[in-house]
Amino acid sequence: MTYHLEFSALLPYWQDLAWGLLFTIVLTVVSTAVGIAVGTLGASARTFGPAWLSGIVRVYVELIRNTPFIVQLFFIFFGLPALGLRLTETTAAFVAMVVNLGAYSTEIIRAGIEATPKGHIEAGVSLAMSRLEVLRYIVLRQAFAKIYPALSSQIVIVMLGSAVVSQISAPDLTYAANFIQSRNFRAFEVYFVVALIYLVLAIVLRYVLRVIGDRFVKVS
Amino acid sequence: MSDFSLWIIVKNLIWATQWTVILSLIAFVGGGIVGMILLFLRTSQVKWLEVPTKLYIEFFQGTPLLMQLFLFFFGVALFGIEVSPWMAAGLALTLWTSAFLTEIWRGCVEAVPKGQWEASASVAMSYIEQMRYVILPQAMRIAIAPTVGFSVQVIKGTALASIIGFVELTKAGTMLNNATFRPFLVYSLVALIYFCLCFPLSWFAKRLEGRLNVAR
Amino acid sequence: MFTRVTMSGFAALLLASIVGFATGPARADALADIMKAKVIKIAVPQDFAPFGSAGADLKPQGLDVDMANYIAAKLGVKAEIIAVTSANRIPYLQTHKADLVISSLGKNAEREKVIDFSAAYAPFFSGVFGAKSVAVSKMTDLAGKTIGATRGAIEEQEITKDAPKDTTIKRFEDNNATIAAFVSGQVDLIATGNVVAAAITEKNPSRPAVTKFIMKDSPCYVGLNKNEPALLAKVNEIIATAKKDGTLNKFSEKWLKNPLPASF
């Protein structure tokens, strides 16, 4: 059998792709911002918090890092309603992304915090800085500079992983691809083009993260 | 519902776990072999070998694994190549794994001091000999921890094979959920089994890393 | 980081390497291939009770599975049963992963462009079903409501076409997910088949899927690839025999709990 490629079969659906792309971008940006905030809190609690809090954060991090994202997503979307917590597919997608990135960034930022020389903290304390000020101006600032590359690649990984939210009907780029495929039965063309869109997205994201890093996170 | 006791659910999930394990092993071993070949190409200093390797890595690291699976399963088969879910999943996961392992290992190779390359070159070793006898033995020591760590990503990656109809742990979970309508229970068990597979590896990777830091 | 030039170059390279296979060997007559291999690959649903769903051993069972085994037996070959979803069953056929699709497949113009259909073998009424509390009795009542459906299923295509503009349609990848979304309360309405809704109600009486309205009488057909006249004729012959000797009626009574309708 001979299969003729026909990329023009995608043209009538360009709007679906555009909306899907927008959803994926918004999903990534928002969950990155919130996820890193969660990770910062988590890492601080893990290093400086009381033992019970540190323990809880540790369990959270290990649970998330050692189970597949798709299972977490199904658990949140299909499982939690049994406990009376019902989230729409879009909310569930955002929550799952934040929970996931939160766990990874907790671990990454914690490594950065632990690498902060003890002397710097003591110096801060001797300058009569409060504990919070030491954390904010000395520990976290240095930690971020150190782990910024690791955090950046994790963000790209999470963006690519977000393709899975299509499985709970969240209207992302992959959802659009699946929808088009079910209408024109042009599987190769659709998935190939969408894979390239993701590739461009990953390259752009990496670039943007580097620019942000150069400007705001001084790498010493 | 009565024909699905808790025991039957657990039994079916454990049965399906073997496919997750087998698929993970295929991807990891296959990815390791392909990754090793790519590592040689990538560090060969020969431009026309390096550039395609770089593009290959860029493609597999820069697109979602799910898209790769779709492409292999539905896309490639349209051209008359028979692709079973087994082959598509095995192949896509192998290539995906190889791209990441190559990059991890390249980092380790580059961590070997430059002097080692120069010294081995001065005794007229070929590139392959340099890698085989001088560079790799040293790089391997630092590579073990991140490699074990990445195996966890491979196991989790196999969960996506469920979407193209490969019956492994996640797929069995959705099928059982459909038969029992107990999503909370089923997905908790699925998550627990993944945790039992992955946590020991994560823990081991971390321990190796710690030991290495002490040794240095 | 690579430039746009190398990227499009890469794309072309990848394409070329794949298109290279496009001129592969032409396939012989499918029926002859099947008879020679003594195996017929048949795609059945894995998540669409009572047509096909996982039994306690995770193997599919249901009307479509019985039908598949029946056709294989009549051909005198072994049946290789492949469990598929609504979304991927046509790609399975197109990519020759299956010789036949017996997966409660309805006929419409869109599908007829890519595959062929046999004579009908089972009745099927697609409709909208949902929780008791939701007041919906016709298509226009769906305005402003949210409804779940399986992507690529005929019901999903119907509501996409006919439902009011402000209806929110949530498309799931497979029936597992659509049904789970209804049972877990993520959606209050679903578009599916009448007997599927009955199966949900039977298995989960605490949240029955009540009939809201029936959209379409869309009986099930066996799907097969285009340009396979020998295989099509053979399948039609088997279905005609089964209809005459009461086998189809037996299947209907066993799985759908009703005899074949007189109009069938």
What average pLDDT score do residues A56-73 get? 97
Poorest-pLDDT segment among A4-13, B35-44, B80-89, B142-151: B80-89
Residue B215 has a pLDDT of 54
Mean pLDDT of the residues in chain A: 92
For chain A, which chains pass the contact test of at least 3 CB pairs under 8 Å? B, C
8 Å CB contact of B194 and A174: no
The amino acid occupying position C180 is: A
Closest chain C C-alpha to A11 CA, distance in angstroms: 17
What is the signed CA dihedral for B48, B50, B51, B57, rounded to 10 degrees? 150
Residue A2: the pLDDT is: 60
Distances (CA, A) of C214 to B119, C125, C178, C180: 81, 7, 18, 21
Are C175 and C196 a contacting pair, CB within 8 Å? yes
Query: Mean of the pLDDT values across residues B75-89?
Result: 77
Give the largest Cα separation in chain B, rounded.
Answer: 75
Task: State yes or no: pLDDT of C257 exceeds 90.
Answer: no
Q: What value does the mean pLDDT take over residues C119-131?
A: 94
Look at residue A173 and tell me whether its pLDDT is greater than 70: yes
Nearest CA in chain B to C87: B164
Region A174-187 average pLDDT? 89
Q: Do A195 and B63 count as a contact with CB atoms less than 8 A apart?
A: yes
- Confidence class for position A121, pLDDT limits 50, 70, 90: confident
- Nearest Cβ partner of C185 from A3, A86, A89? A86
Rounded CA separation A207/A217 (Å): 14
What H or E segment, with its residue span, contains residue C169? strand C168-172
Residue A9: per-residue pLDDT: 87
Question: What are the pLDDT digits (tens) for C177-190?
Answer: 999 999 989 999 99
| pLDDT score, position C11 | 46
Pick from C26, C96, C173: CB nearest A167: C173
C39: Cβ contacts below 8 Å, ≥ 6 apart? C77, C78, C79, C80
Residue A218's pLDDT band (cuts 50, 70, 90): low
Q: Give the pLDDT confidence score for residue C28 in this predicted structure.
A: 62
Helices (H) and strands (E) in chain B, counts: 9, 0
Confidence class for position B3, pLDDT limits 50, 70, 90:
low
C149 shares contact with chain A (CB less than 8 Å):
no
Contacts of B182 in chain A (CB under 8 A): 82
pLDDT above 60 for B136:
yes
Residue A161's closest chain B neighbor by CA?
A: B64
- Say which range, A130-144, B28-42, B85-99, has the weakest mean pLDDT: A130-144
Closest CA to C80 of C66, C68, C96: C68
Domain residue ranges of chain A, discontinuous segments joined by +: 10-216
Q: Is the pLDDT of residue A213 over 70?
A: yes
Mean pLDDT of A157-166: 96
Q: Are C1 and A203 in contact (CB under 8 A)?
A: yes
Q: What percent of chain B has pLDDT over 70?
A: 96
Q: What is the CATH number of domain A10-216?
A: 1.10.3720.10
What pLDDT is recorded for position C26?
A: 44
- On whether the CB atoms of residues A149 and A72 are closer than 8 A, the answer is no
Average per-residue pLDDT in chain B? 91
How much is the pLDDT for C6?
Answer: 43
Q: Compute the average pLDDT of residues A75-93.
A: 93
Q: Chains that contact C by 3+ CB pairs under 8 Å?
A: A, B
Pick B205 or C18 by higher pLDDT. B205
Instruction: State what percent of residues in chain B have pLDDT above 90.
Output: 72
Q: Do the chains contact at B66 and A163, CB–CB below 8 Å?
A: yes
* pLDDT value of position C261: 87
pLDDT for the residue numbered C22: 38
B145 pLDDT above the threshold of 90: yes
Q: Give the pLDDT mean for B54-76.
A: 92
Does residue C66 have a pLDDT over 90? Answer: yes
CB atoms within 10 A of CB C56: 15
Could you tell me the pLDDT band of residue C16, with boundaries at 50, 70 and 90?
very low
3-state secondary structure B41-71: HHCCCCHHHHHHHHHHHHHHHHCCHHHHHHH
Q: Which residues of A touch C (CB under 8 A)?
A: 1-5, 77-79, 81-82, 86, 88-89, 166-169, 175, 178-179, 181-183, 185, 187-188, 192, 196, 199-200, 203, 206-207
Chain C 111-140, CB below 8 Å of chain A: which residues? 114
Helix (H) or strand (E) holding C40: strand C39-45
Residue C2 has pLDDT above 70, yes or no: no
Walk me through the domains of chain C, giving residue ranges and CATH numbers: 27-124+219-256 (3.40.190.10), 125-217 (3.40.190.10)
Out of B38-42, B129-133, C11-15, C216-220, which region has the weakest mean confidence (pLDDT)? C11-15
Mean residue pLDDT across chain C: 86
Give the nearest partner residue to A185 out of C24, C27, C90, using CB atoms: C90
Do residues A104 and A136 make contact, with C-beta atoms less than 8 angstroms apart? no
Q: Above 90 in pLDDT, residue B87?
A: no
Domains in chain B and their CATH numbers? 6-215 (1.10.3720.10)
Nearest to A79 among B67, B162, B183 (CB): B183
Among chain A residues, the shortest Cα distance to C178 is held by: A168
From the list A67, A70, A79, which residue is nearest B195 (CB)?
A67
Question: E strands, chain B, where?
Answer: none
Residue in this structure with the two tokens 């959920």, named with its chain if needed: B177
Contact C151 A183 (CB under 8 A): no
In this prediction, residues C232-257 reach a mean pLDDT of 94
Does C205 score more than 70 pLDDT? yes
- Residue range A100-120: average pLDDT? 92
pLDDT at position B16 over 90: yes
Give the confidence band of C88 by pLDDT, cuts at 50, 70, 90: confident
List the chains bordering chain B where 3 or more Cβ pairs fall under 8 Å. A, C
Are the CB atoms for A100 and A36 separated by under 8 Å? no
Q: In the structure, what pLDDT confidence band is assigned to residue B214 with cuts at 50, 70 and 90?
A: low
Query: Buried b vs exposed e over B92-110: b needs ≥16 C-beta within 10 Å?
Result: bbbbbbbbbbbbbbbebbe
pLDDT above 70: percentage of residues in chain A: 97
DSSP A83: G
Chain C residues with CB under 8 Å of a chain B CB are: 2, 6, 10, 14, 18-19, 21-22, 24-25, 27, 46-47, 53-54, 56-58, 83-85, 88, 91, 94-97, 173-177, 179-180, 183-184, 203-204
Helix, strand, or coil (residue A63): helix
Q: Copy the structure tokens of residue A127.
A: 């300058």
C-beta atoms surrounding C15 within 10 Å:
14
Output the CA–CA distances (angstroms, integers) from residue A46 to A53, A107, A155, B11, in the order listed.
7, 9, 21, 37
Model pLDDT for residues B194-203, shown as the tens digit of each residue: 999 999 999 9
pLDDT category, B85, cuts 50, 70, 90? confident
Q: Which of B177, B2, B181, B9 has its CA nearest to residue C204?
A: B181
In the block, residue with structure tokens 């029955």: C208
* DSSP letter, residue C26: P
